[in-house]
Amino acid sequence: MKLKGLVETSFVDWDGKICSVVFTPGCNFKCPFCFNGALVLDPDSVDNVPEQALFDLLEKHKDFLDGVCITGGEPTLSPDLADFCKKIKDKGFLVKLDTNGATPEILKSLIENKLLDFIAMDVKGPWENYSDFAGVPIDGEKIKESVRLIMDSGLDYEFRTTLVPSLHTPDVFEKLVSQIKGAKKYCVQKFRPGFCIDKSLNTDQKQTDEEMNVFAETARKYIDNVKVRGEK
Ligand code: SF4
């Protein structure tokens, strides 16, 4: 599996778990607010991390690591993702997948083959104009299909949104959360200006804690378990 980054120990990427985090190259989205430009636009410019480095680490810290968070980029673009998940699980560790939800057929196969323990999926905007948030033409129906698959999977999961002040107006946000009504868990994440793919967004102001709480209250009209996270 091609990897482009490894965080040895994280307490913040999987609520309630201690995990290592690996980054995969490339993404099929170009979200204007993405702050992972190199990994998305020019993954070859980022050094490779040998897969064995992760497995050595897991062996060394097996006493306190619960699992591995696979993030990107977009991990479902990696052709050997299923084998990689299996290898991690065969060693007795849990697997969390971060995904943009654009490939429901791959998600379905990973779920059916019991290769995932937790899924975190971005829900970026209303289905009908999802492309405005993804930065490329996207069929919102695919995203909707992934949401349905995850909600019906029986797995633990969360949906999450990085809130961008100039994109997520209160009306847009309410439409977004109403689409995932009844979800098990939802997180609103603070926007991080300064490194956005669309440089014009770098002048957007970060939301205040009070503003984030207002968005969270709107989300609680549709979802019981809503969390506010810092910059992501
Ligand atoms: S924010 Fe996520 S889905 Fe969007 S371009 Fe960046 S890595 Fe891809």
pLDDT above 60 for 188: yes
Residue of 30, 36, 103, 167 to test ligand 1 pocket, by largest number of atoms within 8 Å of CB: 36
232 contacts 122 by C-beta, under 8 angstroms? no
Residue nearest to atom 6 of ligand 1 (CA): 34
Q: Which residues line ligand 1 (CB under 6 A)?
A: 27, 29-31, 34, 36, 40, 72-74, 100
The DSSP bridge partners found for residue 161 are 188
Q: Which atom of ligand 1 is nearest to the CA of 134?
A: 4
Q: Give DSSP secondary structure letters for 96-126.
A: EEEE-S--HHHHHHHHHTT--SEEEEE--S-
Average pLDDT over residues 104-130: 97
pTM for the model: 0.96
Provide the Cα torsion 201, 205, 210, 216; round to 10°. 0
Between CA 134 and CA 130 the distance in angstroms is: 6
Mean pLDDT computed over 171-183: 97
Beta strands 5-10 and 19-23: pairing type?
Answer: antiparallel
Question: Could you state, in order of their start, the residue ranges of all structural domains in the chain?
Answer: 5-231
Q: What pLDDT does residue 159 have?
A: 98
pLDDT at 195 over 90: no
What is residue 202's predicted lDDT score, i.e. its pLDDT?
86
4, 23, 31: residue to mutate for ligand 1 pocket, most atoms within 8 A of CB? 31
d(CA 78, ligand 1 centre) in Å: 15
Q: What is the pLDDT of residues 8-50, one digit of tens each?
A: 999 999 999 999 999 999 999 999 999 888 999 999 999 999 9
The mean pLDDT of the chain is 95
CA of 45 to the centre of ligand 1 (A): 17
The architecture CATH gives domain 5-231: Alpha-Beta Barrel (3.20)
**Residue 131, SS3 per DSSP:** helix
Residue 232 in this model has a pLDDT that exceeds 60: no
Determine the Cα–Cα distance for residues 145 and 42; give it in Å rounded to an integer: 29
Ligand 1 centroid to 46 CA: how many Å? 16
55 alpha carbon – ligand 1 mean position (Å): 26
Helices (H) and strands (E) in the chain, counts: 8, 8
User: Tell me: the pLDDT tens digits for 138-147?
Assistant: 999 999 999 9
Q: Which of 23, 28, 29, 197 to mutate to test the pocket of ligand 1 (most atoms within 8 A of CB)?
A: 29
* Residue 206 confidence (pLDDT): 81
Pick the residue whose CA is nearest to atom 1 on ligand 1: 34
